[in-house]
Every structure is written in C-alpha cells, then in structure tokens.
Amino acid sequence: LIYYFYDAIIKIRTGSYEEVILIKVNITDIARITGFAKSTVSAALNNKPGVNPETRDKILKTAEQMNYIPNELARGLSSKTSATIGVIVRDITNPFYARMCRAIEQIAYNYGFTIIISNTDGIPDKELNAIRLMIGKMVSGIIVDISGNDLDLFFELRKSNIPYVLFGACQSNVDADCIEADDYKGALRAVEYLVSCGHEKIGFIHGGNDSIYSQRRLNGIKDAFLKFHIQFDDKFILHKAKKMEDGYEMGKRLIGMKDRPTAIIAYNDLVAIGLIKSFEEEGLIVPDFMSIIGFDDIELMTFPLTTVRIPEYDMGVEAAELLISRISGKNTGKFQKIILDTELIIRKSVKSLL
Amino acid sequence: LIYYFYDAIIKIRTGSYEEVILIKVNITDIARITGFAKSTVSAALNNKPGVNPETRDKILKTAEQMNYIPNELARGLSSKTSATIGVIVRDITNPFYARMCRAIEQIAYNYGFTIIISNTDGIPDKELNAIRLMIGKMVSGIIVDISGNDLDLFFELRKSNIPYVLFGACQSNVDADCIEADDYKGALRAVEYLVSCGHEKIGFIHGGNDSIYSQRRLNGIKDAFLKFHIQFDDKFILHKAKKMEDGYEMGKRLIGMKDRPTAIIAYNDLVAIGLIKSFEEEGLIVPDFMSIIGFDDIELMTFPLTTVRIPEYDMGVEAAELLISRISGKNTGKFQKIILDTELIIRKSVKSLL
DNA sequence: TTGAAAGCGCTAACAA
DNA sequence: TTGTTAGCGCTTTCAA
C-alpha cells in the first residue's frame, strides 16, 4: 500500500491497482489539473454551450477520476437558487402525506430538483419556522399544506418571492396556486350512499377548527342532509380527531353515548382505524355496531373500509408540475386552482338498514 | 397605503400602522442600519460571547424588525458545515421508515439540526447518488439504511470524512457505527411460538438477497428448526416480497401450491397485509387457511396480526443520538454497535393446531 | 468589545 | 472558445 501525495490528491497503490482519491476536490483543483480556468470547468461541468467538446471531455473525465462532488451550497449561494423544492406537511407518518411526498419527489427528480420535507404537526409556529428555514435554504419553490387560516404564513411566503403551491386546502380569499380534492362532493356522496342504505342518524368526526378539509366536508354533509330533508343534529358532530389515537378515544366516547348515530363519517381513515380498534376491543363489530365511512383510502388497510378516496398521489404530481412550471417561468399566468375529483370506494363497513 | 423606499428596506404605512418589510435582508443590511460591523452582527446573531449586551440587543431587535432570515447556504459554505443530518432510507411510504424518520427528526431538532431525507428503493445507484448529494450539501452526518452489500457505498461514505451511522443492517465486516434490531432472536421466537402452536410446516417469505434483515431472520428460523429438530425445507423459503403488492402476489402463489406450509413468517407487516388481502379475496380466512406472523408491528393495522415488533422509533432515537455525539466530537471512541431487542406481539393470526 | 479583511466554492458577467 | 474578475452571504481569524 503506497500513498502518493500530490496537492490535494492522494494516489493509493495496492499491488498493481492504483486509485486516485481526493480530499474534497473542488473545481479549482480540476482547473489546476486540467490547465483550464475555473469558469471553463464550471461551464463544462454544467453542460453549458460554448465549450470545446475535447475540453469538455477532458474536464468531465478528470472530474470523474477525481471523484468530484459539486458543493451545492456554493452553487446555490452563487446562483441564488438551490435546485430544491421544500415540502411542508403535517406528518409524514400519515401514509397520505408519505405517498404525496413520494409523488412530488418523483416529479421533482425528473426535473432535476431535490426535495426537503418538514413536518409541522399542524402547529402554526412550526409552519412558520419551516417556511423561514426553507427560504434560508434558498429553495426554488415550496409546496405547503398549511393547516389553518393563519394569514401570516401566506404573507411570509408572498414576501419571500419564492413560488409556492398550496396543497389540499385552498381558501377562497388567498391568491395562490393550489391543488385540492373535491372534499365537498366526496362528503356529499358519502351521505347519499349512507341514506341509500337507510341511514338517517349520521355523525361526523370533525378534524378540528384548524382543518379546512373538515369544514368543506361538513358543508357537503350538511347540503346532503338538506337535499334529503334530514334534520341536522349538532350533537352528532364530534370534535375532534385527526389521528388514530384520537379515533380510538372517540370510539370509546361513541360507545358511551345513549343516543348514537347509526353511521359515522370519520375525518380520515386513520381516525376510522382508531374507531374500529376501539369498537373491536369491546367486541363490537363494524358495521354491525356502527357503520363507518373514512376519507383518504389508505392502501395499507386490511379492514374493508368504505371510504372517500382522495387522489393524494395525483395531487402530489399536479402540485409538483404546477410549481415547477412556475419556477421555470414557463407558467406566468394567473393563479391556478386545480381540483381533483374524489371517489367513494364501497367496501364493507356500511350496513344496510333496509 | 404609503411606501417608503430606503435602501433595501420598504416601510409600509397603512393608516396609523407602520411596518418595516425588507427585500431579503442580510447581515450587511443589519450592519449598515445598526452601525456595527458585519462580524459583530454575526457574533451577536450567533450568540457568541464577547459582545456587549446592549449591542447584542440592538442587533437582535433590528434583525427581528427587518425580518432577517439567515442564509443557510452562505452559513454552511463559510462554516464548512450545514447543521443538517442526511437520512437515507428505502421508502418513506413504509410506515416503519416514516416513524423512524420522525424519531430522528425529533432528536435532531433538539440539537438544532435539520434533516433531509432521500428515498432509494434499495437501488444501489440511487443510494450512491443520495450519499453524494448529501456530501454536496455538506451535511454534518448521515444515517443510512443501506440495502445490500455494496462496499462502494461505505467507501464513498468513509472517504467523505462525514460521520455516519448504519441503520438496521450492520455487516460484520464493515467498521462503522450501527444500530440494529435483534432480527435473529425475533425470528427464533416466532418459530418457537409457531411450534408451540403445533406448526411444523413453516414457510418464510424472503425479502430478497439484498436484504440483510432477511438473511438474519432466516438464520434465526433455521436455528430454531435445528433446535426443534424440524426438517428444513427449501421450497418453503419463498423469494421474494418486500412490499404489500409483492405480498399480494405471493398470496396467490401460496394458494396455488399443492403442498403448503401451515404457517408463514412474512418478511414484514406490509407483505403480511398483502397476503391477508390476497387470501381474503378468495374467501380464505387468516388464520384458518394459514397462520401468519409479520415483522415490524405497524400501528396502522386493523387486522390482529401476530408480529415481531421492531422498535423503529427507538432505533431512530439511538441512531440520531449516536450520530450527533460523533458530530459534536463528544464521542470519539471506537465504533459502536447498538442492538435493540425485538418482541413477539401475539395477536390472532396464528391458529393453534393442538 | 468591535472592525477589517480574507475566504468558503461556485456562477456569471465580460474581456480577451 | 477560454480566462479574468467580481461577488453570492456568511464565518473566522486577527488587529485595533
């Protein structure tokens, strides 16, 4: 084993095998070795036009040999943008967001972008931090699932001058690109289905006042009630559950109610799972004890849950495409609002009362 | 609404309300406004000692007023490290990894680090890319779940001189810090339990040759067989399934077999879910048709799956703590190998044949 | 306690 | 087609 030191470069010779390793090679090193100027090296490395093919070849080959890894920080600082897209979600642990992130990552990758993810748990403070952090990292754009009505966040976003796309919940009073699912219609259809199965005492588990989804779903439910002349009963709107554990608690509460709904529309599948677990623990079977409809259509479910499918993957794709079209400047039109359709997936968690 | 332009600063006056907004304020702006030097501002902002409290106050206040957001790229470039930890996993869509990432994020956050995640799907090329990208982003450390035996990856990691921790699968021949679960013992216990329920024809769904987990689990199974004098039958080792869809396919294959095992140990819970779905589709009930034991203990399961719990959250915590102790230089000892225990969670997916 | 100056690695004018 | 130069925003000596 022999080492040769030469500038920043070490050659290691093991038997007949010789390898050139480097201590953090940078473009200055490559420039020195190849004899070209830094700017030429940079141009060659970035596939810019106006570089002699032979020159480019030589530089590329040398870079490869020296195992050159571009310093993205320097690149970003100099070019005033890192090829990065920031994604701000509530909780990557929710398969819904996990799949959405992968969709975004996929599209981003195709366009040469990297993504960074921040979890906020829907806490406005964390959301603001995440946005600021991303601005600090000079991301090219941001896709954000903002929980509430906190206009400060939009303000921060707007000021930053970074393109951004709102995901999932677009408020009418905010000027921004946004992608959403048709929660309203999804909820409407859910109720229609329940009614067609003979249910009238229909409950809804609300995700909390910071959840625009819940608001829209509730609107759908109310309108469906109106349509079918069902009396809207406030006590069947249960606050609040967002996660599985919340759903579990809510299940116990439901069990304890004297006057129970015959069917529940859960805020999402996670909450529905919580309900089911909670019921089954007491030997109560879904849908015999109570019918349940979820939202999302998480694919990991083994339980045959009837649910309103939210096309999270497609939403991620749309969001990424839209954002990148803004970043690249190909899309300078006015703000777009893309609404994807939802679908009621009928399985076996709703009992027919007819 | 009145605007005042003053250097890089805009004052907006709305009625009696005046707000100072900024167009990307940097420390030079703050220096100019406060009258101190850039270096003083930097010191104050970073809470370094040797700054007059009044000076610090003034600088901090001004920074806040001007809505200063530090440029992390410049910071990183200058200080030669971004306070970032890179996490390389196969697929964040797998709740196992999602939870692990959140654990890492939590610990990282406590220490002032941010994390960036890369999904590799276990493809060596992507793994290498991810590592290089992270080096390029000057991460402070890397936590990586490398799939295979690809020594190039370790080599790249080693060369980079960045601290790193291997997650999940530590090979004996690699010198590195690593965190793993006791897969071997977990598998052993699974078989013990199956045997205690009267099973002898026990199958294993292998995750593929690139899966060190599978290898270790298989070893546990084989040794348990040895212990109970059960004949090891190669045809009951089924290659290969890693995801739910794979499990689904495998289920169909199992249904078609003439000589079936009475119990299956699945590569992980996702595969187990796939099996269950596949069976139930044909009206075959678990565990009546076949007993199943999974690995991981995904909490979203509604099905009462007996499974070997892998403490992914704790593993994430340990990995992050260890990595950060390396980064901070507090831990300069020799490489550590932390093995966390697994636990057999008995539910209802195994039928007693006794 | 504060300031001046250099430099991190790169890109982007512009000049040659 | 290539080279020179300046500068991105910050930290980090070192001097005052």
Residue B6 has pLDDT above 50, yes or no: no
CB within 7 A of strand C (chain A, 14-53): 24, 26-28, 38-39, 42, 45-46
Residue A11 has pLDDT above 70, yes or no: no
Query: Three-class SS of residue B41?
Result: helix
Looking across all nucleic acid strands, the nucleotide with the smallest C1' to CA distance from residue A77 is D8
Which of A189, A188, A150 has the alpha carbon at shortest distance from A166? A150
Geometric angle at alpha carbon A289, from A283 and A294, rounded to 5°: 105
Q: Does residue B182 sit at the A interface (CB-CB below 8 Å)?
A: no
Give me the CA B8–C1' C12 separation in Å, rounded.
23
- Determine, for residues B302 and A299 on separate chains, whether the beta-carbon distance falls below 8 Å: no
* Rounded Cα gap, residues A241 and A167, in angstroms: 21
Q: How far is B226 from chain A (nearest CA, A)?
A: 34
Share of chain A above pLDDT 70, in %: 92
Specify the pLDDT at position B8: 47
Q: How far is A72 from chain B (nearest CA, A)?
A: 5
Query: Three-class SS of residue A139?
Result: coil
**Protein-contacted bases of chain D (C-beta within 7 A):** 1-14
Report the mean per-residue pLDDT for chain B: 90
B299 chain-A contacts, CB cut-off 8 A: 244
Gyration radius from chain B CA atoms: 27
CB burial of residue A159 (10 Å; 0-12, 13-18, 19+): middle
For every residue of B101-150, DSSP letters joined together read HHHHHHHHHHTT-EEEEEE-TT-HHHHHHHHHHHHHTT-SEEEE---S--
Tell me the pLDDT tens digit for each residue of B308-325.
999 999 999 999 999 999
Residue B265 amino acid letter: I
- Determine, for residues B300 and A298 on separate chains, whether the beta-carbon distance falls below 8 Å: yes
Residue A19 has pLDDT above 70, yes or no: no
Question: Which residue minimizes Cα–C1' distance to C8?
Answer: B78
A72 chain-B contacts, CB cut-off 8 A: 133, 136-138
Question: Which residue minimizes Cα–C1' distance to C9?
Answer: A74
Using the CB atoms, write b or e for A233-252: b if 16+ within 10 Å. eeebbbebbbbbebbbbbbe
Assign A237 a pLDDT band (cuts: 50, 70, 90).
very high
Specify the pLDDT at position B148: 63
Give Cβ neighbours of residue B13 (< 8 Å, ≥ 6 apart): B1, B2, B3, B4, B19
Specify the pLDDT at position A161: 85
Residue A69 has pLDDT above 70, yes or no: yes
Select, from the ranges A3-12, A23-32, B15-24, B165-174, the one with the highest average predicted confidence (pLDDT): A23-32
Specify the pLDDT at position B98: 95
Tell me the pLDDT tens digit for each residue of A211-224.
888 999 999 999 99
What token pair was written down for A175? 């000027």
Do the strands B291-296 and B141-144 form a parallel or antiparallel pair, or are they unpaired? unpaired
Which residue's entry shows tokens 């495998």?
A: B250
- Determine, for residues B133 and A72 on separate chains, whether the beta-carbon distance falls below 8 Å: yes
Q: Average pLDDT in the A196-204 region?
A: 96
Which of A174, A188, A166 has the alpha carbon at shortest distance from A87? A166
Cβ atoms of residues B104 and B140 within 8 Å: no
Query: Three-class SS of residue A188?
Result: helix
Residue B72 has pLDDT above 90, yes or no: yes
* Rounded Cα gap, residues A123 and A135, in angstroms: 19
Residue A159 has pLDDT above 90, yes or no: no
Assign A154 a pLDDT band (cuts: 50, 70, 90).
confident
Judge if the upstream peptide bond of residue A240 is cis by omega within 30 degrees of 0.
yes
Gyration radius from chain A CA atoms: 27
- Determine, for residues A72 and B137 on separate chains, whether the beta-carbon distance falls below 8 Å: yes
- Residue that wins the pLDDT comparison between B19 and B157: B157
Tell me the pLDDT tens digit for each residue of B106-148.
999 999 999 999 999 988 899 999 999 999 999 999 999 976 6
Looking across all nucleic acid strands, the nucleotide with the smallest C1' to CA distance from residue B54 is C1
Give Cβ neighbours of residue B116 (< 8 Å, ≥ 6 apart): A114, A116, A117, B84, B85, B86, B87, B134, B137, B139
- Residue that wins the pLDDT comparison between B37 and A20: B37
Assign B223 a pLDDT band (cuts: 50, 70, 90).
very high
**To the nearest 5 percent, what fractions of chain A are helix, strand and coil?**
45, 20, 40
- Residue that wins the pLDDT comparison between A184 and B174: A184
Geometric angle at alpha carbon B119, from B131 and A82, rounded to 5°: 65
**Helix (H), strand (E), coil (C) string for B197-240:** CCCCCEEEEECCCCCHHHHHHHHHHHHHHHHCCCCCCHHHEEEC
Tell me the pLDDT tens digit for each residue of A245-258.
999 999 999 999 99
- Determine, for residues B132 and A244 on separate chains, whether the beta-carbon distance falls below 8 Å: no
Give Cβ neighbours of residue A338 (< 8 Å, ≥ 6 apart): A178, A179, A180, A318, A322
* Rounded Cα gap, residues A347 and A305, in angstroms: 6
Give Cβ neighbours of residue B27 (< 8 Å, ≥ 6 apart): B38, B41, B42, B45, B68, B70
Task: Name the phi and psi angles at A180, rounded to 5.
Answer: -145, 165
Tell me the pLDDT tens digit for each residue of B243-300.
999 999 999 999 999 999 999 999 999 999 999 999 999 999 999 999 999 999 998 8
Q: How far is A235 from chain B (nearest CA, A)?
A: 28
- Determine, for residues A92 and B114 on separate chains, whether the beta-carbon distance falls below 8 Å: no
Cβ atoms of residues B240 and B246 within 8 Å: yes
- Residue that wins the pLDDT comparison between A13 and B30: B30
The number of C-beta contacts closer than 8 angstroms across A and B is: 107
What token pair was written down for A320? 């990424």
Assign B20 a pLDDT band (cuts: 50, 70, 90).
low
Q: Out of B116, B119, B280, whose CB is closest to A116?
A: B116
Residue B210 has pLDDT above 50, yes or no: yes
Other CB atoms within a 10 A radius of the CB of residue B327 amount to 19
Q: Average pLDDT in the A53-81 region?
A: 94
Q: Average pLDDT in the A260-278 region?
A: 96
Tell me the pLDDT tens digit for each residue of A96-120.
999 999 999 999 999 999 999 999 9
The chain B residue lying nearest A112, using CA atoms, is B133
Assign A2 a pLDDT band (cuts: 50, 70, 90).
very low
The chain B residue lying nearest A156, using CA atoms, is B67
* Rounded Cα gap, residues B297 and B305, in angstroms: 8
Query: Three-class SS of residue B267?
Result: coil
- Determine, for residues B73 and A77 on separate chains, whether the beta-carbon distance falls below 8 Å: yes
Give Cβ neighbours of residue A280 (< 8 Å, ≥ 6 apart): A286, B302
Q: Does residue A67 sit at the B interface (CB-CB below 8 Å)?
A: yes
CB within 7 A of strand D (chain B, 71-90): 71, 74-75, 77-79
Assign A73 a pLDDT band (cuts: 50, 70, 90).
very high
Share of chain B above pLDDT 90, in %: 77
Q: What is the largest CA-CA distance in chain A?
A: 87
A69 chain-B contacts, CB cut-off 8 A: 132, 135-136
* Rounded Cα gap, residues B190 and B241, in angstroms: 19
Beta carbon of A79 within 7 Å of strand C? yes
Cβ atoms of residues B270 and B244 within 8 Å: yes
Looking across all nucleic acid strands, the nucleotide with the smallest C1' to CA distance from residue A78 is D8
- Residue that wins the pLDDT comparison between B297 and B21: B297
Q: How far is B69 from chain A (nearest CA, A)?
A: 6
Residue A184 has pLDDT above 90, yes or no: yes
**To the nearest 5 percent, what fractions of chain B are helix, strand and coil?**
45, 20, 40
Specify the pLDDT at position B36: 96
* Rounded Cα gap, residues A104 and A143, in angstroms: 9
